[in-house]
Structures are given as structure tokens and as C-alpha cells.
Amino acid sequence: MLFRLILPLVFILASSCTHISGNSYGLKNGYRVSVGESSPKAKIFLVAGSQDSANFAQEIVDQKKFWIAQGYTNEEIACYYVPPVEKEKTDKKQYADLFRELRDCYFADPKLLSEHIKQIAKTNPDFIYLYVSSHGNIPMSENEFSYKDEAISKKMEKVMLLPKWADTYSMELQGYAVPGAFGVYHNLYKAYLYALENPENADEYLFTPRGLKSALNSLPTKTKKYVVLQGCHTGGFVLPKKEVGVENTLRGMKNTSVLTASRSDRTSFGCNEGAHTTMFGEAFFVSLRKYAEAKKIQDLDWKSIFNYTETQIKEREMIIGISDEDLSSPQKYFN
């Protein structure tokens, strides 16, 4: 779906939680999340960054089942999601169907994800695989905003004056988590204000190329890194249209393969409510099944996986009438 950031009043999920057992918490809306450190054996990280539609969560559930079928164990897979906060959603049934599958996942929180990757770095893994599915955004200075009231408009004037470190491409990881308190950034507005108030800790609130690069750089150079980013404008993580510093892209990283759903100045499709998965998520999953039979992640032909995904995406977008100027144009980076 074409995505433009709209800024309604921020809704924060009730922060009081009920401790269930071990490192799992139950939320007032009935959903559960894991807390604390991830398994020291984790190598596969699956992230559904937004609760706006169930298709993001569907993709990580489908992939988790797929990788387990490939021979990986639950201990080797860490998943992250954002529980839905609205009671009546188009995707209510889909979320209900996914309820049991999501109960052992962590909140999709930039800080928590980064901490987990850095923890795993200490185990010298031979590879890590990261799949993130969510909304993607262009730099703040290039966005057009709609405001519901004057108070938000005035606050956003401060956001638009953010230092350059925040004026980068980003993906929405709408959850935040600390022991005993959980919540949802219903949109980037709240996350950017927190980052503005705490600039030295900006990467705790925002999922940007810089923050992701910092987490990946904590891994040994020999560790093979596979990153797949499903969302609008995700090409900005590797080939940004807007000129940014090298620290604000994933380019230059050794032993790194990156696949993105779209060019930095293009949207991806299928992130609307009612869709079972995103268009890229479905095409990528078809490609995985085509090339991954009886193979480990580090042995896959990632260039062929990208090429096949790209071909499927173009065909599907042309069938639904997307013009050449609006094709999502998936991007790749291999080093």
C-alpha cells in the first residue's frame, strides 16, 4: 500500500503487566511477550515491527515454521512483534489465529533487538539471519505530514529540527520494552520525540541504518550476515537517494548480504489490513522454498533468491496496474 505518515494522537498500550512465569509476561489485552536475553544459540532473528496489520506477524510466523522444517531449533530462532492495540481490526481473526504462535516472541523494540544481536556476537556465530517486516520511512526532512491538532503540530516543529543523525531512512519498530513496562509507539512521532530528548541514545528508539550497522558490527568479521528488509523505502538502508554519510548505510560491511523490498524513493505494496502477507513477503517466501530445500542459510544462493523475488514482484505489480514510475524496485547489496 502507498504509505504516508499520518500523525494521530499517540496511543500507549497499558504498561502494567502480569508476570506469568520465567521470562514471559502477559499483557492486559491477553497477548504475551518474552523479556530478557535471547537464547545464546539464536542465529535467526524474525521481526514484525508494526501492529497496524497482521501480515507482518504472519510473515515471521511462516518463516519460523519454515526454518524449523529446515532443521533449525526453537533455541536458534528469536522472534519479535508488536501486539495489536485496537480491539476491532480488520485483521482481528488473523491475529487470533497467530496468537499461540506469537506468545514466545519479544517486543519489536530497537534497543532490545540490538542488545540481543550484540549478546549473540559474543558466541562467535558462523552466521546470523535478520528478517524485518514493517513500514519504512524516508528521512524526516523529505516527509509530508498531516496533523490532527495544533498541539501535535507544534511538537512536530521540534522534530523537524532534529540533528542530522535522525534525518535518515528508517523502519518502524513500534514496541518498547523494559522489565515490568511495555508500550507501543503508535507511529514514529513519539519515537522521534524520545530521540530528540535523548540524542545520545537515539538508536534505542529508532531503527535506522546507523543503529543496525552498529549492532551488526559487533559481530566477528567472519560472521556471515544476511539481512532482508521488507518495507517502503528500505533501499535507503543500502542505496539512499538522499545523500547521507556512509555510517547511515549498510554499505561497506564485510560478509554481508542485504535484500530490500523497495528502492529508497519507492513504496512497497501489501501492508494494508486485510492482506494475508505483503507482496514482497510472499514473493520472498516463495523464493526461499524454491532454493532452500535441504540447505542451510549460509549455503543458499542469495543472488538467485533475490533475482527470482524481483521477477515475481515486477510481474505481480504490473498485473495490478502499477506504473513503471511506481514499481517498488527491490534492491540488493552483496559483499
pLDDT per position as a tens digit, 100-114? 999 899 999 999 999
Confidence check: pLDDT of 219 > 60 = yes
What is the pLDDT, as a whole number, of residue 299?
94
Q: Fill in the amino acid letter for 235.
A: G
* Three-class DSSP labels, the chain: CCCCCEECCCCCCCCCCEEEECCEEECCCCCEEECCCCCCCCCEEEEECCCCCCHHHHHHHHHHHHHHHCCCCHHHEEEEECCCCCCCCCCHHHHHHHHHHHCCCEECCHHHHHHHHHHHHCCCCCEEEEEEECCEECCHHHCCCEECCHHHHHHHHHHCCCCHHHCCCEECCCEEEECCEEEECCCHHHHHHHHHHCHHHHHHCCECHHHHHHHHHCCCCCCEEEEEEECCCHHHHCCCCCCCCHHHCCCCCCCEEEEECCCCCCCCCCCCCCCCCCHHHHHHHHHHHHHCCCCCHHHCCHHHHHHHHHHHHHHHHHHCCCCHHHCCCCEEEEC
Closest CA to 284 of 292, 273, 296: 292
Of 312 and 190, which is predicted with more confidence?
Answer: 312
Quickly state the pLDDT bin for 3 (edges 50, 70, 90): very low
Question: Model pTM greater than 0.85?
Answer: yes
Task: Give the burial string for 142-164 (b: 16+ CB within 10 Å, else e).
Answer: eeeeeeeeeebeebbeebeebee
- Please, what is the average pLDDT of the chain? 83
Q: 282: pLDDT confidence band, cut at 50, 70 and 90?
A: very high
Residues 6+ apart with CB under 8 A from 19: 25, 26
Q: Are 244 and 179 in contact (CB under 8 A)?
A: no
Q: Name the amino acid, one letter, at 62.
A: D
Residues 286-312 have a mean pLDDT of: 93
Q: Which three cell numbers stand for residue 237?
A: 538502508
Q: How far, in whole angstroms, is CA 162 from its chain's centroid?
A: 23
pLDDT tens column, 20-54: 334 666 776 778 888 888 899 999 999 999 988 89
Report d(CA 281, CA 107) in Å as an integer. Answer: 20
Distances (CA, A) of 149 to 8, 160, 238, 329: 9, 17, 36, 36
pLDDT tens digit string along 52-100? 889 999 999 999 999 999 999 999 999 999 988 765 566 888 988 999 9
Reported as a single tens digit per residue, the pLDDT across 161-182 is 666 666 788 999 988 765 556 6
